[in-house]
Each structure stands twice: as C-alpha cells, then as structure tokens.
Amino acid sequence: MAPSGGHAPYAGTRTPRVEDLRLLTGTGTYVDDVVRPGMLHAHFVRSPLPRARILGIDTSEALQLDGVHAVFVAEDLNPGVHEQWYTLDGRDAPDTPRPPLAEGEVRFAGDPVAMVVAVDRYVAEDAAELVLVDYEPLPPVVDYAAALGSLESVHAAYPDNLAGQLGGRPMSDLDPVFANAPHVVSQTIHQQAHGPVPMETRGIVAEWTAAGGEMAIWAATQSPHEVRAFCARLLGIDEHRVRVVMRDTGGGFGQKVLPQREDMCVLLAATKLPAALKWIEDRQEHLLAAGQARHEHGEARMAFDGDGRILAATLDHVQDAGAYPTPSPVQSGIAVGMLFPGPYRIPEGTFSSRFVFSNTSGRVAYRGPWQYESMAREVLLDTAARQLGLDPVELRRRNMLSADDLPTANCNGMPYDHMSPRETFEQALTMLDYDAFRKEQARARETGRYLGVGTCTYVEPTAGATPFHATEGATIRIEPSGKVNVYVAGGSCGNSLETTVVQLTADALGVAVEDVSTVQGDTAVTPYGAGTGGSRSGSMTAGAIAKTAGVLRERILAIAAHRLEVPVEDVEFNRGRATAKGGDAVLTLAEIADLAYYQVHALPPGASAGLEASGRYHTPHLMIWANATHVCTCEVDLVTGEVTLLRYIVSEDCGPMINPSVVEGQIFGGTVQGIGGALYEHLAYDDEGNPVATTFMDYLLPTATEVPVIEVGHVETPSPGPGGYKGVGEGGAIGSAPAVVNAVADALAPLGVRVDRLPLTPARIVQLVEQAQGVTAR
C-alpha cells in the first residue's frame, strides 16, 4: 500500500538496516546477556553411549560440591509434564516419545540424563563430572538405512524403527511408462548429516514466580509465541501467565523454531527453584545434541522419450529421523516427494518417503527442510544428460516450465502459479555467458585442468496457509508525539524483520521512515504470530501491516479533513504532513496525534480517541511460489581433491523486493550454507554410534576464503499476495548444494566419475578419481 501524495515509497529501496548500529557496536541483547537477581545456571550430564539402559544414577557427590543447588534426574522432572505437543503438528498428531531427561534408556551419545543447577556454569560443569551413571550398553542402531531391518529398536513403541511413511500413487502404476520409454535413467544419491549451526547456540532463561503462578522466559528462538504456548501446555498453566521475551537471536535457520528437550528441562526445573535458571549451550553440546538435518537418500528415476523430454519421474526416499526428531519428520518430510518434479513438465510421477529412527541426534528443521528433492532431481538430470548425449542445459530447456506455462499443477497435484523458472534459468546462463565458459572449459582440459559448471533450478512454496502459518497480526500505535511504533510477533534472527517492517509501515501510513520504530519478540505486547519459518515473514507481515495501517490512515485523514475544513478526498498526507489540495495550511502528524489524544472534543463526530489499531491478515493462498536458478563453476584438482569455486551466480524471483540489500543478504547466507553442505560439513558418527565431529576442528564450515563473490540477478513476478511479495529466506540453501555438486560432477565427467554420496571432501574426490582410473584404494 503506497502512500498518497507522491513521495517515492521506501519499499524497494536499500534502506539501511535499523538494527545494524546496535548489533555492529556489540550492544545487542542475546540470551546470555540476560542477568536476573540470584540467577542459577544449568549444565547437563549427557550420555557417552549411543544406546544403553540406565541402571542407576548417583548424585550424592555432586550435591556435596560447594555452590551446587540441585541435581535433577528423570524422576524429578518428567512427571511434571502435562502436555508436550507443537502447534505446527497439532494436539492429535502421532509423535515420538519425548522425555525431558532420558528415562530408562539413553538413545544417542549426548542424550541428557541429569541436569545440575549451580551458582554458575563452572561449578555446574564440575559437579556434572561427579554424577555417576551406571549404564548397561545396548546394541545401537546407527545406520538409518539398515534400521528398518534391524532386530534392535530405538523406541520400543516402534519395533521396526519406522517413524512414519507416506507417498503418492503406487510406483507400479508407472511400470508401463518406464518399460516402454526409449531412455530410463536412475541414480541413488546419499546426502550426509549436517546442521544449521547458528552463530548463537541454543539458550533460555526461565524465572518462575510462585505467588502469581507466572513464568517469564528469555529465549533464543524464532517463534516467541510458540515458546509461550508450549510452556503453558508443558506446565499446565494458563497461557496468559507466560511471558516470552526474545531480543536478539544469533541465527536460527529452522533449528530454533520449536523448544527442544533441554528447554523443557529448564522450564520444569524453574518451578522448583527460588531464582531464575539459565542454560546456555556450548558449541560441543550444540554439535552433539542440538540436532541434525539433511541425512537422507533416495533412488530417483526418470523416463525420457527419444527427444529428451521427460515422460515420468519417481523418487523412493528414505530419511534419518534420529532419536528425537523435532518436529514430526513425517509432516515436514512430505514436501520432499511433492516437490520432486520441480519446475519441469513431467506428465506422470509419484514418490514414496519413509522416516526412520536411529541412535543419533534428532532431526531438526533446516532452511528448506525439503531440499533433498532438488538435490535428487538436479543431479539426476545432469546424469541423464550425459547418458542421452545432451548438454545438461539443453536437456533442461526441453523440459522447463516458463511463466507463460502457468498456472498448472505438477504431477503430484501441487498448483503452480506466479513464478518464472525458465526466465531465471536463462538470466543466470546469460550472466555466466554459458557458451563462452564451455569453450574455456574445453581449452582448460587440453592443458590438464578440470573445470566444471553446474546448475540447479528449483521452485519453493512460501507463506503457506497451514493452520500454524496462515495468519499474522500487527498493532500500530502513533504516539502523542507523532512518532510511530509497530508491534509484530517477531522472530527476527538475522533476517532483518526490524528493517522491512519499518519500511512497510512508513509506506502504508505515509510517514518518514526515520519516524517509525518496531517492537518485536515480546509476547506481552505483540500480537500473536507464528514467527520466522517457511519463508513467510515478508508476505505475511506486509499483509498484517497493510490491513492495520489502512484503518489508521483513514482515521488520520478524517481528523485532518475536519481540522482543515475540507472533504476527506481533498486531503493529501505525505511524510507525516497533511495538506489540502490548493491550500497552504499544513497539519503535522504530531498535531493530529495531539488532537486524537488530548483534544478529543475537537475530533470529527463519532471519531475514536487515540491513534492505535490492531489488525490480522489471513492468507487465502495455499502457498506463494518463489523460484530461482543457481549456476556454479569450479575447478577440481585431481591430485589433492581440492574444489575451487570460480564463479557463483543466482537469478532469483521473489517478486518485488521490500529491500534489495536484505534480499541479497538472505541469498548470500543461504548459498554459503549450501556450499558448506556440498563440500565441507558432516555431523559424522563412527560405526559404534560415537559422534566424531563435535568441534569446529572436525566440523568444517566454509569461510570467506572458500566462497567466491556471489552475483545476483532478479526476475520479478509478483505473487497474488500482499504487495506481490514472496518469501526468500530459504531458497539460497535449497539451490546451492545441487549446483555445486553438479559443477564438480561436470568437471570430473571426462573421467567417468559419477557422484552419488556427499560431502565432496578432498578425500572423497581423490577416491572417486582413483576408482574411475582403476587405481587401487590406498
């Protein structure tokens, strides 16, 4: 909603981030900055074994240590649980048993067994070493791929280790298509476990006031209102007696959408303590127990006609759920199969997905949790192109949807509209000058250098109308001074919601952006919202602000018209100043606010006092589609296995951009995470279930040294939602890893190398090259 009066809107401009001054000067407030009177500190005793029976726990020596306040075990905390379900899943959804502390059996190395509470973290850590736990080791189920046939069960209630399954039409329905197709290509692709790894680890402070039965919580979260709802259910107290404050959160990426078991322990223990309780996870704990993602594999198949057009596609998909997945892997996992057709014309297709327990850390949401669909599809397309004797770009051109082909539905029934896959594809190839690169590649191979190029084009559902995500609220208050505060639920954790909300509000009201501030992340004052997740914030907050500001703007114009003694339609309101057409009189927003608050007698008949309004937007759209193409070029050293990324290009269609700098920042961050997933990151376990990557010495992340400049192009196809905006938060992490994998595979294609397992570390690349060359493995 653009303001009247002609000033250029703020939306679409590179307005500087309003949070930067605070964050870049080190004055942000993270959970670990919160200090409460007499505050106590928690540390967990964690299982060193991946699976074992707990025979006994001796806390006596730990309790004798000076400064220790309490040591809680399962029998102390677990009976206090009233309900423990997530709004995202719903009360009646089947879910994994989720005890706060391990009860009877530990199920992964890092499983919390006891919680020590002490005067500070140091004493708590010392005391944890004095807690003696008697374990009876049990055979662990480490390999999720073999878990379905294992005689051992991660959870007794799931003797076959199957957490759940779902699928489309039977695979056998497509047997005739595959049997009669001129070309059939299949490939099984294994993706390794890796995690969100935000800069700020998990953390929470809980303060219980027994007299009022009230809980105050400071949390590192993406969804403060969900933390409040979960706490109320957990403790069996009224929701309005829980207040959650989220100030600054140093990254979430899906991992911080929902409270996990350690959060439950802190909340339960706080009700038994005389002061606030703080738990801050250290990095080793984080890599051990905060959760893993992306660990899955699948057999992808495509049938082609003689001209390289896709006739059918199937995906047989298996995903590691770990021991305690959060949320239910089945609900989030359905998107993998449903989106597998991607941006291509595929007349027929189906999928099957199975979600399997293992004695490893639980699966968590991670930026584009369905990303595997793009990995499987895009790697398979490159393999198919080589088998069909086509360039991978040409094969895609014969099959890719363009904006002119929409609306349509993919073969699984997902309705596509308002996007432009072919257009982003062609823009990205033009930015690279694809033909020139192929010539450069050919010259390089003549000199023994192996260059490669890879692409990934994907479609992404954003701002979906699931019950959890379908509405968002906003409250806008114009203060008596004329300054504006906009209250939204928040969940801002690096995605610049503070800045974009201010821009949207300034435009919707017609005021200067410097006169607008925002309050987020405090459930006591902000309207209910689902928080950050599902690439929903841009579209949903735009809807909530437009709806709320529209009410206020009408009130402002009515007051101004009454004061200026002109019809409402003759009032122009721009940058906080009301004027009448053809007149010289000026009425500032401060003067209008003064009338609304302090001179109620001077208001128009029937006008409400004050300038404050609340509104709620409900999306009528099942989903809003974004799309993009990633193109990567690289060089591979056959001797060392090192991959050097040469150029990285993204053509993104997220509709009109509220703030291009924010959009590009989101693309950059997600892209780097995908690069890490393709080449470096691995939450690895040995065959006995022991984690072997619990520090940044072993868990490798990409740095500025490894990542090239990311070049971004934009295609703008407005969505049917508010402002035409779409989500952009997750896309970079979806498209980047497949593009990098395809680039490496393309570089090694002359050797006959076929990539089917990640990450593509130097050691793995050397192994692949040696296998292709017939060299005996070292």
DSSP assignment of 34-50 equals: ---TT-EEEEEEE-SSS
Neighbours of 506 (CB within 10 A): 27
What value does the mean pLDDT take over residues 392-402?
A: 98
**What would the two tokens of residue 557 be?**
């114009």
Half-sphere exposure of 353 (CA within 13 A, CB side): 25
Between 458-472, 606-620, 754-768, the lowest mean confidence (pLDDT) is in: 458-472
Residue 552's contacts (CB-CB under 8 Å, 6 or more residues apart) are 476, 478, 509, 611, 612, 613
Residue 449 has pLDDT above 60, yes or no: yes
pLDDT in tens, 357-390: 999 999 999 999 999 999 999 999 999 999 999 9
- HEC sequence for 234-303: HHCCCHHHEEEECCCCCCCCCCCCCCCHHHHHHHHHHCCCCCCEEEECCHHHHHHHCCEECCEEEEEEEE
In which band, very low, low, confident or very high, does the pLDDT at 89 lie, cut at 50, 70 and 90?
A: confident
What value does the mean pLDDT take over residues 194-223?
A: 97
What value does the mean pLDDT take over residues 397-404?
A: 98
Between 82-96, 215-229, 472-486, the lowest mean confidence (pLDDT) is in: 82-96
What is the distance between the alpha carbons of residues 94 and 544, in angstroms, rounded to a whole number? 33
pLDDT in tens, 617-642: 999 998 999 999 999 999 999 999 99
Residue 409 has pLDDT above 90, yes or no: yes
Residue 719 has pLDDT above 90, yes or no: yes
- Residue ranges, comma separated, of all CATH 3.30.365.10 domains in the chain are 20-28+471-618, 369-465+621-772
Res 636: pLDDT: 98
In which band, very low, low, confident or very high, does the pLDDT at 426 lie, cut at 50, 70 and 90?
A: very high
Is the dihedral angle over the CA atoms 381, 680, 360, 225 positive or is it negative?
Answer: negative
Beta-bridge partner residues of 280: 203
Res 244: pLDDT: 98
Neighbours of 135 (CB within 10 A): 18
Residue 439's contacts (CB-CB under 8 Å, 6 or more residues apart) are none
Res 583: pLDDT: 87
Determine how β-strand 203-209 pairs with β-strand 643-653. unpaired
Res 2: pLDDT: 42
Fold for 20-28+471-618, please state it.
Aldehyde Oxidoreductase; domain 4 (3.30.365)
pLDDT in tens, 272-296: 999 999 999 999 999 999 999 999 9
Res 777: pLDDT: 45
In which band, very low, low, confident or very high, does the pLDDT at 492 lie, cut at 50, 70 and 90?
A: confident
Residue 778 has pLDDT above 70, yes or no: no
pLDDT in tens, 108-118: 999 999 999 99
Selection from 330, 321, 376 nearest residue 353 by Cα: 330
- Residue ranges, comma separated, of all CATH 3.90.1170.50 domains in the chain are 34-138+199-251+256-289
Residue 5 has pLDDT above 60, yes or no: no
**Cβ-count burial 541-572 (b if 16+ within 10 Å, e if not):** bbbbbbbbbeebbebbbbbbbbbbebeeeebb
State the angle between helix axes of 731-748 and 660-679 in degrees (0 to 180), rounded to the nearest 10.
50
Residue 1 has pLDDT above 50, yes or no: no
Beta-bridge partner residues of 461: 625
pLDDT in tens, 338-356: 999 999 999 999 999 999 9
Fold for 34-138+199-251+256-289, please state it.
Aldehyde Oxidoreductase; domain 3 (3.90.1170)
What value does the mean pLDDT take over residues 675-681?
A: 98
What is the distance between the alpha carbons of residues 632 and 744, in angstroms, rounded to a whole number? 9
Share of residues in the chain with pLDDT > 70 (%): 98
Mean pLDDT of the chain: 95
Residue 447's contacts (CB-CB under 8 Å, 6 or more residues apart) are none
Residue 3 has pLDDT above 70, yes or no: no
What value does the mean pLDDT take over residues 244-248?
A: 96
Res 91: pLDDT: 87
Residue 177 has pLDDT above 80, yes or no: yes
What is the distance between the alpha carbons of residues 71 and 45, in angstroms, rounded to a whole number? 10
Res 776: pLDDT: 52
What value does the mean pLDDT take over residues 498-512?
A: 97
**What would the two tokens of residue 68 be?**
């220790």
Instruction: State how far the alpha carbon of 240 is from the alpha carbons of 212, 215, 417, 524, in Å.
Output: 12, 10, 40, 8
Res 7: pLDDT: 67
Question: How many helical (H) and strand (E) elements, i.e. helices and strands, does the chain have?
Answer: 20, 28
Res 584: pLDDT: 87
Res 121: pLDDT: 97
Residue 578 has pLDDT above 60, yes or no: yes
Residue 695's contacts (CB-CB under 8 Å, 6 or more residues apart) are 283, 284, 287
DSSP assigned state of 532: S
Residue 503 has pLDDT above 60, yes or no: yes
Neighbours of 434 (CB within 10 A): 17
pLDDT in tens, 527-536: 999 999 889 9
pLDDT in tens, 515-568: 999 999 999 999 999 999 889 999 999 999 999 999 999 999 999 999 999 999
Residue 4 has pLDDT above 70, yes or no: no
**Residues constituting the chain:** 778
Residue 452 has pLDDT above 60, yes or no: yes
Beta-bridge partner residues of 134: 56
DSSP assignment of 200-238 equals: S--EEEEEEETTTTEEEEEE--S-HHHHHHHHHHHHT--
DSSP assigned state of 724: G
Res 774: pLDDT: 86
What is the distance between the alpha carbons of residues 632 and 627, in angstroms, rounded to a whole number? 17
Please give the class, per CATH, of domain 369-465+621-772.
alpha beta
Q: What is the pTM of this model?
A: 0.96
pLDDT in tens, 214-223: 999 999 999 9
Selection from 681, 675, 693 nearest residue 289 by Cα: 693
**What would the two tokens of residue 607 be?**
């006008």
Residue 191: its H or E element: strand 183-191
Between 393-402, 456-465, 757-766, the lowest mean confidence (pLDDT) is in: 456-465
pLDDT higher at 492 or 445? 445
